[in-house]
Amino acid sequence: MRVAKAWIVAKKELAVLRKTKSVLYSVLAFPLFVAVGLPLVVMAAGGRGPGIPASVLPVLLDSFSFFFIIGTAALPVTIASYSLVGEKVERSLEPLLATPATDSEILLGKGLAAFLPPIVSTYAGSVVFMALMDKFTIAKLGYPYFPNPTIAIILIAIAPLACLLSVESGIVISSLVSDIRSAQQVGGLMILPFAAIYVASEIGLLPLTWLNLLAISGVLLVVDLLLYLVSRATFRRDDILTRWK
């Protein structure tokens, strides 16, 4: 496996992505929305009447930290299915497979192109989010709430694992459907488990303690490994040209 080859594929994917406005805008918009929108909500709520009690604030902030993961899980599946279903629609996989690159290199390139933009925008968004929230927490709690171990585990472990899960799902979904709309619809289901965790944490059902977060990471890691095997088996040149619909 030559990473340089995969990187050539990834750069091409990113060039196509730049021309696919709808995907490009969602990659840019989601983290911006979270980074600026959530602090605005907190500040607006905190500014009115008695405001948010200092005891509730940490729970709320931890849940909000997890909110990023919903975008991190939603975006890669969209990009991956665009890049694979898109090639199916344009029938451009055949000339690509005719080049001296292995299936793994092509797959890695496509995976990187679906992985990097969402993860970079998640990180960029979270930095803005933490900076804005700290302004608020210093005033309210007397100390800056971020960064802390919770958001560290979320960003360092859960975000990339969720992103990877989403990329792999995109690959598997792409082999099963033949139009981008269906790929998007199936891919949309990706956010459900993460949205469920978010809601559960918000209502106190699943507190986002370290231990819980590490457990979530562990589950993701196992699912990622399994799905890697499935997606690797899906992306075989013989099947792509003769069996993919």
Partner 1 sequence: MPPFGTAGEPLSEFRGVRDRTVVIDTEHLTKRFGGQAAVEDLSLLVAAGEVFGFLGPNGAGKTTTVRMLAGLISKTSGSARIAGHEVGPEDSALEIRRIVGLLPENVGLYEALSPYQILDFFGQMYDCPDGPRRANIERLLRLFDLWELKDRPVATFSKGMKQKVALARALVHDPKLLFLDEPTANLDPEAAKTVRDCILALKKEGRTIFLTTHNLDEAQRICDRVAILRTRLLTVGAPDQLRASLSGHRTQVRLERTDDTLLHQVRERLSPRRVERSAEGFVVEVEDPDRENPEVVRAIVEAGGRVRSVTEVGPSFEDVYLKLVRG
- In the complex, least distance from residue 87 CB atom to partner 1, rounded to whole angstroms: 8
Q: How far is the CB of 167 from partner 1 (least distance, A)?
A: 20
SS3 for 138-182 is HHHHCCCCCCCHHHHHHHHHHHHHHHHHHHHHHHHHHHHCCCHHH
Pick the closer one to partner 1 by CB: 17 or 164. 17
Name residues whose C-beta falls within 8 Å of residue 216's C-beta, 6 or more positions apart in sequence.
158, 197
Shortest distance, position 120 Cβ to partner 1, whole Å = 21
| Least gap, CB of 111 to partner 1 (angstroms) | 17
99 binds partner 1 (CB under 8 A): yes
Query: Using the rule CB under 8 A, is 237 a contact of partner 1?
Result: yes
User: Can you tell me the distance from the alpha carbon of 208 to that of 173, in angstroms, rounded to the nearest whole number?
Assistant: 30
Q: Taking the complex as a whole, how short is the minimal distance between the CB of residue 202 and partner 1, in angstroms?
A: 40
* Minimum distance of partner 1 from residue 6's CB (angstroms): 11
Which residue, 55 or 242, is less far from partner 1 as judged by CB? 242
Choose, by CB under 8 A, the member of 19, 48, 181, 245 that binds partner 1. 19
> Using CB atoms within 10 A of its CB, is residue 242 exposed (0-12), middle (13-18) or buried (19+)?
exposed
Query: Based on CB atoms, which residue is closest to partner 1, 98 or 203?
Result: 98
Positions 101 through 130 that interact with partner 1 (CB under 8 A): 101-102
Backbone angles phi, psi at 158, to 5 degrees: -70, -40
For partner 1, which is the closer residue by CB, 11 or 135? 11
Residue 15 engages partner 1 in binding (rule: CB under 8 A): yes
Which C-beta is closer to partner 1: that of 2 or that of 135?
A: 2
The site string for partner 1 over 69-98 (x = CB under 8 A, - otherwise) reads ---------------------xxxxxxxxx
Q: Which is nearer to partner 1, 106 or 151 (CB)?
A: 106
Under the binding rule (CB under 8 A), the answer on residue 12 touching partner 1 is yes
The answer to whether residue 242 forms part of the interface with partner 1 (CB under 8 A) is yes
Where along the sequence are the contacts to partner 1 (CB under 8 A)? Answer: 5, 8-9, 11-12, 15-16, 19-20, 90-102, 237-238, 241-242
